Amino acid sequence: MAQLNFARPDALFLFLPLAAVIIALYLLRMKRREMQVPATFLWPTHTEEVRANALFQKLKPSWLLFLQLLALAVTVGCIARPQLVQRGLTGEITVLVLDSSASMGATDVSPSRFEEAKRLAKAAIESARPGDRIAMVEAGPVPRVVFSLSSDPVRQLAELQPLTVSDAETDAGEAMRLASAIVAGTEGARIVLLSDGVFERIDDFSQGNASVVFQSVGKSGENLAIEAFGSSESQKGRLLFASVRNFGDKVATTNLTILADGKVVDSSQLQIPSQQSQSRTIAVPAGATLFETRIDAKDALAADNYSALSADPAASLQVLKIGGEDPFLDRALALDPRVTLDRADRLPLDGGSSYDIVVFDGVASEPTTSRGVLILGKAGTGSPVRITGTAARPKFNGASSSEILKGVDLDGVYFEEIEVAQPIGSAEVLARSAAGPLIIADTKPNQRVVYTAFSPLESDFPLQIGFPIFVSNLLDFLGGEAGEGPLVVPVGRAFSLPANAPSASLKVPTGGEVQLKPNGGAVTIREAKRVGTYEFRSGNAVRKVIAVLQSPRESALAPEREIALARKPVKSTDAPLRFADFWQPLILLGLLILGAEWWLYARRS
């Protein structure tokens, strides 16, 4: 049984003063209009209930008064926005946020959490009343609006049907902010999050006038996952390291298999206690180019039961950026599939030896043991230059032919200020301005250093099309150019690959092929959303790309029953209440009453 609720109950208090006005009009003497006629004796002397013989008169029962008060009550009721409290996900304006991250692929609910969330979304759309407007946001690796606010269930269901789960992490915060923006300024809207709650905490979020409903999906957190798979140098030589974690509450047993170029090189059975990890270390087989590992656990999530590693050290670059915020550089670095980027304010105590490349962005460089160093705009100790001063707004004056500047045109680039530097030692000037060198590179036996006399943020270089190419060339130079072997990328992450042919394609592991359009000699790939092996083709060049999921956050499948939005807890609800506005039938009733009042008045007239 639906309950009646008022969105603005204070408006009901309007009834009393307005009713008093109507009654006062009946009580007060109404001044009759005077009119002269030839003779009055022919006119009937009786009058209707509206008498005008005294200032105040006794209130007599009147159907007109009753109907007017009834119409007033209905009108005030409409202003108070009556609502029927019902069970259901949708309201008058609803944004459904559908989590399509890796954890939603868990099969602890049949057929999967994602399909269950889709079923809930479908039921919500189908149960929406005519006029209810619904939008949908997919909370995948890159949040997107599936369909905007509309009241077209046929189209909405058609847009919902082809959605599939990804094996990637989700940016749930961005998805929620997108949903909030859709209903910004709209009163009474609701944002319904259909998710297992397995995502990073959302601190930066404002729901505005909207209410948030969290519908948790999922039952169990039992899951085994390859937590880490990597290689490192040791005294015994290069070793492979694989770690498996039991995210469940029970002891689990599984077989861990390590393969080199598709051949099994190690297999072991692991018995892993709850919330514990067990690892396996083996020597790297000689000559292999690709290592893979998998566990045979029949757990809820298969995507994290497999991982891969390229034997080419340049195929994976650990990059440490020291300095302030530079979104242009961060984005350019992230586009390279080899890069795993960390940020810090200062150089670690080990001198950055665990990183392949250290980037000093606008901070004075320090000596480091990494094999590549990039110094942007501020030379310090260990830099291949000697600073003699600064120059303002110099003009590009020419560049030598080098791999670093291949496909990069600095002509016309605006530099606000540069350091006037002199190369020292074996350092070479690759590009210069009228005031001094712009880019200097130095190749030492165990380290390569590139120095730019300008900070990217003090130029318009990041806005040029050549900037990401320049960064990619720098990574090739500093980290050593990757071979043509398999490329291992985190699943769901966008990355770019060189593509010199006019067209390119990507064969996906689930079958089918995606056509890609190269731009500026490279193509950006966003389609690697499922774990598996992809085949990238550009002209005659073929590159194997393996997408892997190594995300402890996604592997910890236990569904959350409460999430925090901007530090405010939101509990999951199995049957959320919805408020269906009830003013439309009241308006109709009010019109009927006014019609009856008019009919009564006309009949008496």
Partner 1 sequence: MLEGLRISPRKSQPGRVRGERLTRRAGLSIEFADYRDYAEGDDLRHLDWNVLARLDSPVMRTYRDEEDLAVHLLLDDSPSMAFGEPTKLLIARHLAAALGYIALSNGDALYPVRLGRREPPLSALRGRSSFGRFASWLGRDVADDAPTSLSSSLRAFANSRARAGVAIVLSDGLDPDAAASIRALVGRGHEVWLVQILSDLDLEPDIEGDLRLTDGEGGAPTDITANSIALRKYRDNLHEHNEGLADSAKRGGGRYAIFETSRPLDRFIQDTLKREGWLS
Which amino acid is present at 315?
A
Distance, CA of 77 to CA of 91 (rounded, Å): 20
Look at residue 41 and give its three-state secondary structure. Answer: coil
At closest approach, how far in Å is the CB of 57 from partner 1?
13
At closest approach, how far in Å is the CB of 64 from partner 1?
12
* Residue 447, H or E segment: none
Task: Mark the segment that binds partner 1 (CB under 8 A) among 31-39, 62-70, 296-304, 382-390.
Answer: 31-39
Could you say whether residue 110 binds partner 1 (CB under 8 A)?
Answer: no
Distance, CA of 225 to CA of 554 (rounded, Å): 10
Token pair for residue 478? 């500093």
Backbone φ/ψ region at 425: left (φ over 0), alpha (ψ -120 to 50), beta? left
Alpha helices in 317-358 (DSSP H): 327-334
- In this structure, are residues 483 and 521 in contact, taking their beta carbons and an 8 Å threshold? no
Considering beta carbons, is residue 52 or 283 the nearer one to partner 1? 52
Backbone φ/ψ region at 567: left (φ over 0), alpha (ψ -120 to 50), beta? left
At closest approach, how far in Å is the CB of 602 from partner 1?
9
- The residues in 50-89 that bind partner 1, with binding defined as CB under 8 A, are 50, 52-53
Considering beta carbons, is residue 39 or 286 the nearer one to partner 1? 39
Backbone angles phi, psi at 298, to 5 degrees: -90, 65
At closest approach, how far in Å is the CB of 34 from partner 1?
5
The count of chain residues that interact with partner 1, using the rule CB under 8 A, is: 22
At closest approach, how far in Å is the CB of 191 from partner 1?
56
First to last CA, the chain: 44
Which of 1, 42, 55, 286 touches partner 1 (CB under 8 A)? 42
Task: Mark the segment that binds partner 1 (CB under 8 A) among 27-35, 171-179, 228-236, 314-322.
Answer: 27-35
At closest approach, how far in Å is the CB of 46 from partner 1?
8
Task: Mark the segment that binds partner 1 (CB under 8 A) among 26-34, 374-382, 434-442, 500-508.
Answer: 26-34
At closest approach, how far in Å is the CB of 35 from partner 1?
5
At closest approach, how far in Å is the CB of 604 from partner 1?
6
At closest approach, how far in Å is the CB of 18 from partner 1?
23
Considering beta carbons, is residue 154 or 602 the nearer one to partner 1? 602
At closest approach, how far in Å is the CB of 49 from partner 1?
9
Backbone angles phi, psi at 41, to 5 degrees: -70, -20
Could you say whether residue 392 binds partner 1 (CB under 8 A)?
Answer: no
β-pairing, 357-361 vs 317-323, is parallel
Backbone angles phi, psi at 22, to 5 degrees: -65, -45
Considering beta carbons, is residue 44 or 111 the nearer one to partner 1? 44
Task: Mark the segment that binds partner 1 (CB under 8 A) among 36-44, 147-155, 177-185, 212-220.
Answer: 36-44
Could you say whether residue 400 binds partner 1 (CB under 8 A)?
Answer: no
Could you say whether residue 605 binds partner 1 (CB under 8 A)?
Answer: yes
Which amino acid is present at 6?
F
Which of 44, 327, 412, 445 touches partner 1 (CB under 8 A)? 44
* DSSP letters for 135-171: EEEEESSS-EEEEEEE--HHHHHHHHTT----SS---
Task: Mark the segment that binds partner 1 (CB under 8 A) among 38-46, 199-207, 477-485, 555-563.
Answer: 38-46
Farthest CA pair distance, the chain: 130
Which of 10, 41, 446, 515 touches partner 1 (CB under 8 A)? 41
Nearest alpha carbon to residue 488 among 339, 331, 280: 339
Task: Mark the segment that binds partner 1 (CB under 8 A) among 13-21, 49-57, 73-81, 171-179.
Answer: 49-57
- In this structure, are residues 586 and 223 in contact, taking their beta carbons and an 8 Å threshold? no
Could you say whether residue 269 binds partner 1 (CB under 8 A)?
Answer: no
Backbone φ/ψ region at 278: left (φ over 0), alpha (ψ -120 to 50), beta? beta
Strands (E), 251-356: 252-260, 263-272, 277-283, 290-295, 306-310, 317-323, 339-344
Distance, CA of 493 to CA of 261 (rounded, Å): 24
Which of 1, 40, 162, 237 touches partner 1 (CB under 8 A)? 40
Residues that bind partner 1 (CB under 8 A): 30, 32-45, 47-48, 50, 52-53, 604-605
